[in-house]
Amino acid sequence: MTESNCAITYSAKDYKSETKPVWCPGCGDYSVLSSITKAFADLNLEPHKTSVVSGIGCSSRIPAYTTTYGFHTIHGRALVVGAGLKLARPDMTVLVAGGDGDGFSIGGNHFLHACRRNVDMTYVVMDNRVYGMTKGQPSPTTEPDWDASAMAPPGGTGMTPFNPLAIALAAGANFVARCFSGDPNGTAAVIAEAIKHPGFSFVAVMSPCITFREEQREWKNVVRPSPVDSTTDAAQAAKRLMTDDGFNMGILYRGARVPYSPKGAGQATIGDLEAEFAL
Amino acid sequence: MTQNKGVSGSVSLAMCGSGGAGVMTAANMLLDAAAEAGYYALFGRSSGPQIRGGEAAAIVRLSPEPVTSVDDTTEILLAIDWQNVQRFAAELPLDKNSVIITDPTQGEVPEVMAKSGARIVELHMKDLAKEIPGGRPNMIALGAVAQLIGLSVDVVCEVLGQSLKKKRADAYEASVAAVKKGAEAALSMGTTKQLGKLAGEPAKRWSITGNEAAALGAVRGGVRFCAAYPITPATEILEYLSSALPKVGGTFVQAEDELASINMCIGGSFGGAASITATSGPGLSLMIEALGMATASETPVVVVDVQRGGPSTGIPTKSEQSDLNIALYGLHGDGPHLVVAPNSIGDCLMTTQWAVHLAEMTQTPCIVLSDQSLGQSRTIMPVPADVAFVGKRLTVTEALPEGQVYKRYANTASGVSPMAIPGTLGCQYTADGLEHTETGLPSSQANDHSTQQDKRLRKLTGFEYGDLWATVEGEGDIAVMCWGSCVGAAREAIARAAADGVKARLIAPRLLYPTRPDVMAKALAGVKKVLVVELSHLGQFHRYLKGEYDLPAEIQQIKRGGPLPIRPNEIHSRLLSMGK
Ligand SMILES: Cc1ncc(C[n+]2csc(CCOP(=O)(O)OP(=O)(O)O)c2C)c(N)n1
Ligand code: SF4
Ligand SMILES: [Mg+2]
């Protein structure tokens, strides 16, 4: 993030726009929006020096619901638009947000490279294990036996879901966490930590789609705070991930990699460049 | 054949041989010497399928006047050896006025070349080189060629000194001795075409490739951000920008693919940095969806497409003009955007600079259609004009009065709405590829859609493009209509036809989209016959002209796919028959 030293004190509602979300009543994304705005307030970020960038999906509608600068881009490309913004404008705080389909399916390659590239920005995925916007198809994080979709074969896809946290860790993300939308304060605290942490921070938020995955209402009964603190040891983090049941919430890993920042500091003039071609 | 007066003193030659023969070294020295002596040049290379090394042909045209086209034939073809060199036969047309210089110890002149009727002369490059300790056949070749075309051997030696003397004194001595020996041997080869004499002192000139020129033009236009993915034949643009941008405080990123590169550029541009990426056909195909977003969200960005043979992976190392359709019509939805095309190697600079200017002024993406023959060829050319185009985006500079809502997509008279660069206090908005209201809120209302569509189109149709929209030269009731890399050959053909009493004019649009019906009608006034020339098998440019403009009834075409360039004589002879 970029340090804020402004005189005004912002509250969460200062970051919420007057635009009414298109989300279904009860959708987990409402709470994630609250967590993001609360995190901004906790860090007292100036709205005009902050930007929320998203792709396409229900969750990706989020930029218009904030009062920061925003870019609602195209399906799967939020991470790269966000990276371009941050690399050109290191003074901005950039938060990229979206869904599991947007980030892990159509945008999957960018996810890998965003982790590896380690640009100083935060990625919040509202994972509902379904394509909500297109009315309920299986996504890369959908359980193999889920078949309540017009497009899933009877008995489900049979495919092992992605473990986004394990992938993030393997690909080099500098901060990895898992949250639950039903705990907006806890989620806000993690997102604030993620924004503060240098480099690429990944926060997977389990955010129920109550329309196409009604059974996700049960999540509130199974999630629990992680019994252990975050680690700076990637091997240990990986081991925890491969052995937990996916319901431990909290910050898993904090790395110490130096963020990628290729912006040059040169002061050459056009004349200097042209001179190379003159005979 | 009658030649254009302007380039009648030119000599076209090719030096070829297998990998390691030093063909490129010798040809580069020849180019440097010609540059030193004050000449102009075109320099291209052709090579076999090997990634590195392997047989190569250096194709050079030297001239006392600026040149922008290859000539009809190869006047001097020198082969250090003939291994696989027949591969280049189609690219090195010969006729009975040509001279083939061969080393009889290094194989026979291939049948396809010998049957041209060219005069064959022998030069024992290998044996002569052996007489000099450390001597190399390519330096014998260099001396012989310089002597034959009338390029001062002293200047060749001077250039050798500049590149070798300090680093490798022994190699320098050997090279000079070999060059002199080659020159001496050439004295008994009979006369060949001589390089015309220079009028007066050498002019100030540049040596630059089209890809370097495009990259420099981008920086001159204000570009400070580039994200890109390597692809032949555009990579040199990226190589240049990766070192030049940090020097001027800019940013270069190697992205994971073209989806990433264009979208990073859009992100950078949203952040206020004029942005560019460069690619070729396969990459442009991947960028199309994002270009639609740039159009809808009104985020300026420039994409240089250095065209190569297509479809699919096609012919990566050779030229074609077959990405016109995708550049003009590839976007889904009604997405008016800019398409421009440079018409010479040197013009890659001005046109790319102009593209940045247009994109920034209209907040619209711009595709620059270059091609392999422009991008990867080098020219020695007059110093380019210091054009003043710098991307100036209309931004919000003053804080809005209290209580006033910022309208990012305000429906202004020109269609261009002041853009708030992130960081601007009180103007936060969300850029969107969804259709939107003036404030940027998503909308599916018919009136919002039509308002925004009209405004996006109006930005382009109402812009004042000036004379740069096309190169319009000459007069007569025949018009040669072409674009991009065909323009040089057309210009030369028209000059030759004029010498034969057939008047024709050249109409070569640099601005391909938006179309300019009014100015085109003026350019076509009095034209009765049109000859459309292009390097596209489907005749994409011809279809475009017929679809977008009112043309006279009689239209002829010269069209074919790449990789062989269309040469002046093809156009010239067609003009003569059309002029009857
Ligand atoms: C290129 C492209 N393909 C397909 C779509 C259709 N589409 C819109 S959103 C979406 C999936 C969204 O799923 P997710 O990212 O999980 O978001 P959610 O709606 O669940 O929040 C798809 C397939 C599109 N907009 N663009
Ligand atoms: S469909 Fe699902 S994800 Fe989309 S708004 Fe409704 S509840 Fe939320
Ligand atoms: Mg989803």
Residue A236 vs residues A116, A169, A245, A257: alpha-carbon distances, Å = 19, 11, 16, 17
CATH superfamily of B5-186: Pyruvate-ferredoxin oxidoreductase, PFOR, domain III (3.40.920.10)
Task: Look at residue A137 and tell me if it is in a domain.
Answer: yes
Check whether domain B212-378 has CATH 3.30.56.10, yes or no: no
Buried/exposed code over B209-223 (b: 16+ C-beta within 10 A; e: otherwise): bbbbbbbbbbbbbbb
- On the question of a cis peptide bond just before residue B202, with omega within 30 degrees of 0, the verdict is no
Task: Look at residue A40 and tell me if it is in a domain.
Answer: yes
State the CB neighbour count (10 A cutoff) for residue A239.
12
Buried/exposed code over A40-63 (b: 16+ C-beta within 10 A; e: otherwise): bbbbebbbbbbbbbbbbbbbbbbb
CA distance B432 to B293: 8
- Sequence length of chain A is 279
Residue B361 vs residues A126, B291, B479: alpha-carbon distances, Å = 38, 17, 32
Nearest in space to A124 (alpha carbons), one of A31, A258, A4, A261: A31
Contact predicate B63/B9, CB 8 Å: yes
CA B344, distance to chain mean position in Å, is: 5
Q: What is the pLDDT of residues A262-273, one digit of tens each?
A: 999 999 999 999
Contact predicate B561/B281, CB 8 Å: no
Which of B207, B251, B427 has the CB atom closest to A277's CB atom?
B207
Choose which residue among A134, A141, A209 to substitute to test ligand 2 binding: the one with the highest number of ligand atoms within 8 A of its C-beta: A209
Which of B216, B289, B428 has the CB atom closest to A69's CB atom?
B428
Instruction: Look up the CATH number of the domain holding residue A37.
Output: 3.40.50.970
A-to-B residue pairs, Cβ atoms closer than 8 angstroms: 184
Q: What is the pLDDT of residue A201?
A: 98
Where do we find the tokens 């890998």?
A: A112
Task: Look at residue A251 and tell me if it is in a domain.
Answer: yes
**Helix residue ranges, H only, B71-124:** 111-114
**B511 sits in which H/E element:** strand B511-513
Q: What is the pLDDT of residue B52?
A: 80
Q: What is the pLDDT of residue B182?
A: 97
Which of A77, A268, A279 has the CB atom closest to B263's CB atom?
A77
Domain B5-186 shares a fold with domain B467-578: no
Question: For strand B119-122 and strand A50-54, is the pairing parallel, antiparallel, or unpaired?
Answer: unpaired
Domain residue ranges of chain B, discontinuous segments joined by +? 5-186, 212-378, 394-463, 467-578
CA B434, distance to chain mean position in Å, is: 36
DSSP letters for B24-53: HHHHHHHHHHHHHHT-EEEEEEEE-S-SSS
Q: Which atom of ligand 1 is nearest to the CA of A102?
A: 15
What lines the ligand 2 site, CB under 6 Å? A 23-24, 27, 29, 58, 128, 132, 209-212
CA distance A25 to B528: 69
Task: Give the confidence band of A4 by pLDDT, cuts at 50, 70, 90.
Answer: low
Q: What is the ipTM of this complex?
A: 0.98
Which residue range(s) make up the domain with A80?
A: 21-277
Choose which residue among A125, A133, A135, A211 to substitute to test ligand 2 binding: the one with the highest number of ligand atoms within 8 A of its C-beta: A211
Contact B272 A88 (CB under 8 A): yes
CA distance B166 to A205: 65
Q: At what angle do helices A108-117 and A164-171 cross, to 10 degrees?
A: 40
CA distance A120 to B252: 16
Task: Look at residue A129 and tell me if it is in a domain.
Answer: yes
Residue nearest to atom 1 of ligand 2 (CA): A132
Q: What is the pTM of this model?
A: 0.97
CA distance B238 to B215: 8
Q: At what angle do helices B347-362 and B210-220 cross, to 10 degrees?
A: 40
Contacts of B363 (CB under 8 A, 6+ apart): B298, B299, B300, B393, B394, B416, B417, B419, B459
What lines the ligand 1 site, CB under 6 Å? A 56-59, 75, 98-102, 126, 128, 130-134, 139
CA distance B58 to A227: 70
Q: What is the pLDDT of residue B4?
A: 43
Task: Look at residue A254 and tell me if it is in a domain.
Answer: yes
Residue nearest to atom 2 of ligand 2 (CA): A209
pLDDT at A5 over 80: no
CA distance B424 to A6: 15
Q: What is the pLDDT of residue A3?
A: 63
Sign, CA torsion B534/B537/B542/B543: negative
Residue nearest to atom 25 of ligand 1 (CA): A75
As averages over each run of 10 residues, the pLDDT of chain B (580 residues) reads: 58 94 95 96 89 89 96 97 92 96 96 96 97 96 97 95 85 95 95 91 96 98 98 98 98 98 98 98 98 98 98 96 98 98 98 98 98 98 91 89 92 98 96 97 97 98 97 96 98 97 98 97 97 98 98 97 96 96
Task: Look at residue A5 and tell me if it is in a domain.
Answer: no
Task: Look at residue A102 and tell me if it is in a domain.
Answer: yes
Report the number of distinct structural domains present in chain A. 1
- In CATH terms, the fold of domain B467-578 is Rossmann fold (3.40.50)
Residues of chain B in contact with residue A72, where contact means CB-CB under 8 angstroms, are: 430-434, 442
Task: Look at residue A86 and tell me if it is in a domain.
Answer: yes
- Which ligand gives the minimal distance to the CA of A24? 2
